[in-house]
A and B are shown apart, each in its own frame.
Chain A
Amino acid sequence: MTAPAQAPAGQNRALRGRRTPVLVLVGIAVVAFGVSAALCYGAGIGGWVLTIVIGLILYLVGVFVAVGRVEGRRAARNRVWGTLIQLAFVLALLPLVSVIWTLISKGTERFDLNFFTTSMNNIGARDPEGGAVHAIIGTLEQVGIAALITIPLGVLAAIYIVEYGRGRFTFTIRFFVDVMTGIPSIIAGLFVLSFWVLIVSPWYNNGQPAFSGFAAALALSVLMLPTIVRSTEEMLRLVPAPLREGSYALGVPKWKTILKVVVPTALPGIVTGIMLAIARAAGETAPVLLVAGGSAALNINPFNNNQTSLSLFVFQQASDASRFSPARAWTAALTLVALVLILTIAAKLVAGRNRIRR
């Protein structure tokens, strides 16, 4: 008979684990970081970052040995892995905190009235003023038009797929919608550039290709449409069949059932999906870069003449050589992030009211 991995006579003692005293762990940490610091600064091979890295490695080794002695190999491995996992968490916090900190510290520099009421019109490389009002208007208009196009189209298409569709045709639609959810945003931009800007727009622009806010809206629509169709479809599918059947049983026609029973039930989820799509579109830079032209002056007509957007503004200011540009870039970035976060948080709050659980 094979003996289990326990001392037969001292079985009772095997129950009693000893816990490694916290002091020992602290001691190991002190020694580890001390040795590491001596190594790094003494031998001059690195700075405080390397000290921390080597210190951590030494600490983990030390803990493994110490805990292994006191509590056993398995407990030691458990402790080391637990520490590593917590370290991953801390490590990920670092860049996140840095981004937030930079956004707030550098972004508030130009967070003034001037920034939100002027554009970059007539602002030269040596001028510290200048703002993003034209960019903000641009984003609002472009995303707004894109939403106006994609919401009805997307929701109705999703209704068709879920409530009416069957067979090959529906399968094909779903397949291609799936394909399109993965399209890189720059490809959408390329398409609108080649098609709308270069082929269609000369017709109404005296033979000259025209960049416009509307073109950007089209590109954003290409990106938003599949997402809205997908998420609406999912939400509609979650509405339980008995709900529909109850309405039919009362003699209510199908189209009324959809509009008055199904869609209202799924509405919080649908609205969430739409808001997330809008938040994503507001942050897109690549398509706008390609087809909106990027103007410096305020242009409230999205159908005529160049426009810019908030995200494109950040990109332009980031690439600009003027020493006043970084401040503008960061303030615009802060505004953009605030806008996107507000939309995302609002979307999550709406989702919280969802009466259907997955």
Chain B
Amino acid sequence: MVNPDSPPDGGQVGGGWLPRRKGFGAERAFSTVTLLAGAMVLVIIVAITVFLIAKAIPALRANDANFITETEWFPNQSPPTFGIAALAWGTLVSSVIALVVAVPIALGIALYLSHYAYERIATAFGFLIDLLAAVPSVVFGLWGFTVFIEPVRTFSVWLNKYFGWLPFFGGDGPFGRSFMLGGLVLAIMVLPIITALSREVFMQTPTANEEAALSLGATRWEMIRTAVLPYGRPGVVAAVMLGLGRALGETIALALTLGFINEVTLNIIENGGNSIAANIANGFGEADDIGRGALIASGLVLFAITLVVNMAARAVIYRRRDFKESAA
């Protein structure tokens, strides 16, 4: 960080032709302004965290039930009884469904674009995937519960008929707004992120390794299995985690596609399902002080979870970047 304005040893050459540094000039003004901006960003962030925690505590104190294990959400009752068990479960289930569906497909697309498709098609679809990532979640939610709900319902009915003996697909219906619907819509939403990142990683496989595999007589799939996938594994893990982070924090799409029943259940096709974020969107209107505090508390839990996931993903990416640079 070279500062060209400070004289080498603070001295002044006798005689006076060497200009002296101004006491308070444009340089100092500018650097102070930027410092203030940086400080302000920090202050804002810390203030938000502190404030939210302060708001959550009274509600947690007033809670009559165990915040972690209680499934009901009645903070406006007296005494208030609320807990995030069902909500956290719902957040988890919908994200897991999303990943289970999205990850194999995303990897397939990423491999197709990086190693199978003609260059023009690959660039065009890469571009399309990026655009898809920009589509707002409310649009997916709208599509989910007007257009997609029917096929999913048919699918759920079929699952229930032939696989109803499994706890996931049991029950008697109705099968409408459910974890299945919400999870699948979420899958479509995280697909672009995972695809875009994985594709970048696959394209960075060193050509030398790919050629080494080919020259050993490997088929295209064997080459991918030997050179591309092992090399890309950390990057793919990071991509999946970032996708998970997005799925966990998603509010609106789930608010339109889940059924809003708070229970911890394995059944994913019956009407029901709730998540922490969707619950906040749904309940903030009628909430009083305690109610809002309770929602904030649940939000902080969600924030903590997404934080851990995002940091882990970033750690993986940074470690890979160092490794790559030192190996180059």
Contacts and interface: CB of A to CB of B under 8 A. Distances in A.
Contacts of B255: 315
A96 B219 contact: no
A75 B219 CA distance: 7
A102 B144 CA distance: 11
A68 interface: no
Nearest to B145: A318
Q: B interface, how many residues as a size bin?
A: 35 or more
A289 B282 CA distance: 10
Given A184-B251, A225-B41, A253 B139 contact: no
Contact of B138 (A74, A87, A164, A311): A311
A195 interface: yes
20 contacts: A89-B112, A89-B113, A153-B37, A156-B33, A156-B38, A164-B1, A176-B42, A183-B303, A184-B277, A184-B306, A253-B4, A253-B27, A254-B31, A255-B31, A282-B136, A290-B284, A318-B138, A318-B142, A333-B139, A337-B135
B170 to A, nearest CB: 19
B168 interface: no
B40 interface: yes
A164 B139 contact: no
Interface in B125-154: 127-128, 130-132, 134-143, 145-148, 151, 154
B104 interface: yes
Given A157-B41, A164-B34, A182-B245, A187 B221 contact: no
B129 to A, nearest CB: 9
A341 B132 CA distance: 9
A270 B188 CA distance: 29
Interface of A: 45-47, 49-50, 74-75, 77-78, 81-82, 84-89, 91-92, 95-96, 98-99, 102-103, 152-154, 156-157, 159-161, 163-166, 169-170, 172-173, 176-187, 190-191, 193-195, 198, 222, 225-226, 229, 244-245, 248, 253-256, 258-259, 276, 279-280, 282-286, 289-290, 311, 314-315, 318-319, 326, 329-330, 333, 336-337, 340-341, 344-345, 348
A318 B141 contact: yes
A82 B220 contact: yes
Nearest to B191: A92
Interface of B: 1-5, 26-27, 29-31, 33-35, 37-42, 44-46, 48, 51-52, 55, 104-109, 111-113, 116, 127-128, 130-132, 134-143, 145-148, 151, 154-155, 158, 162, 188, 191, 195, 219-222, 245, 248-252, 255-256, 277, 280-281, 284, 292, 295-296, 299-300, 302-303, 306-307, 310-311, 314
Contact of A253 (B5, B104, B106, B306): B5
Contacts of B41: 153-154, 157, 173, 176-177, 225, 229
A283 B30 CA distance: 34
Given A88-B108, A153-B41, A229-B41, A190 B295 contact: yes
Contacts of A280: 134
Contacts of B145: 318
Contacts of B108: 84-85, 87-89
Contact of B303 (A187, A193, A286, A337): A187
9 nearest A-B residue pairs (beta carbon) = A88-B108, A283-B136, A184-B249, A160-B34, A156-B37, A255-B30, A78-B219, A182-B310, A160-B38
Contact of A156 (B34, B131, B195, B245): B34
Given A186-B280, A190-B280, A254-B5, A179 B307 contact: yes
B284 to A, nearest CB: 6
B219 A336 contact: no
B295 A78 contact: no
Output the residue of B34, B249, B250 with the most chain A CB within 10 A. Answer: B34
Contacts of A99: 135, 139-140, 143, 188
Contact of A78 (B4, B52, B222): B222
A333 B138 contact: yes
A343 to B, nearest CB: 8
A225 B34 CA distance: 15
A114 B31 CA distance: 51
B314 A314 contact: no
A190 B52 contact: yes
B137 A283 contact: yes
Contacts of A182: 245, 249, 306-307, 310
Contacts of A253: 4-5, 26-27
A337 B136 CA distance: 7
B143 A190 contact: no
A12 to B, nearest CB: 16
A330 B142 contact: yes
B251 A186 contact: yes
B116 A85 contact: yes
Contact of A315 (B5, B40, B48, B138): B138
A245 B1 CA distance: 11
A95 B188 contact: yes
A95 B148 contact: yes
Contacts of B55: 194
Contacts of A194: 51-52, 55, 292, 296
A248 B2 contact: yes
A172 B38 CA distance: 10
Contact of B142 (A75, A88, A314): A314
Nearest to A194: B55
A223 B105 CA distance: 30
* Interface-centre pick from B38, B147, B158, B250 (highest chain A CB count, 10 A): B38
A344 B196 CA distance: 15
Given A102-B146, A154-B41, A315-B255, 17 more contacts: A85-B112, A86-B112, A88-B109, A92-B105, A102-B143, A157-B40, A165-B38, A173-B38, A173-B42, A186-B251, A187-B299, A187-B300, A190-B284, A253-B4, A253-B26, A284-B136, A330-B142
Nearest to B151: A49
Nearest to B52: A191
